Amino acid sequence: MVALNKILYVEDEPDIQAVAQIALEGVGGFTLQICSSGQEALDAFESFAPDMLLLDVMMPGMDGPSTLKAIRKQPQGRDIPAIFMTAKVQPSEVAEYKALGAIDVIPKPFDPMALAEQIKVIWNKYHPV
């Protein structure tokens, strides 16, 4: 099984970043690269070489879907599993995110104590043993 260690996390809201960082690093044991914008994520992507992308949908400038599209254009970004974290979870919106190539969508607000486990479950569905 492919192990999930490194997550590139893109979120423009500092308070949400802090809670997710504790949930994913402290509880989940993941290595996190936190980016506050889509452009920052593009700049960090190649050097960080994440196993997974965790993207906010609504961000100023380059939103999550645009960020994912830009990462997908990079050779090593084509097959990176991506999850969107958003409050916009109407069935049509979720279908749109999945059409863009997201493997799942985690609704906001998320449960910090359950977030790491949620991500592991999604990862294991994508990478079955």
pLDDT in tens, 73-100: 998 999 999 999 999 999 999 999 999 9
Strand partners, 53: 8, 82
| Rounded average pLDDT over 104-112 | 96
Q: Are 30 and 115 in contact (CB under 8 A)?
A: no
Counted residue by residue, the chain has a size of 129
Task: For residue 1, name the pLDDT band (cuts at 50, 70, 90).
Answer: low
Residue 8: Cβ-neighbour burial (10 angstroms; 0-12, 13-18, 19+): buried
Domains of the chain: residue spans and CATH: 6-126 (3.40.50.2300)
pLDDT of residue 28: 96
pLDDT at position 128 is: 67
Q: Return the closest-CA partner of residue 41 out of 77, 14, 5, 16.
A: 77
User: What pLDDT does 2 receive?
Assistant: 76
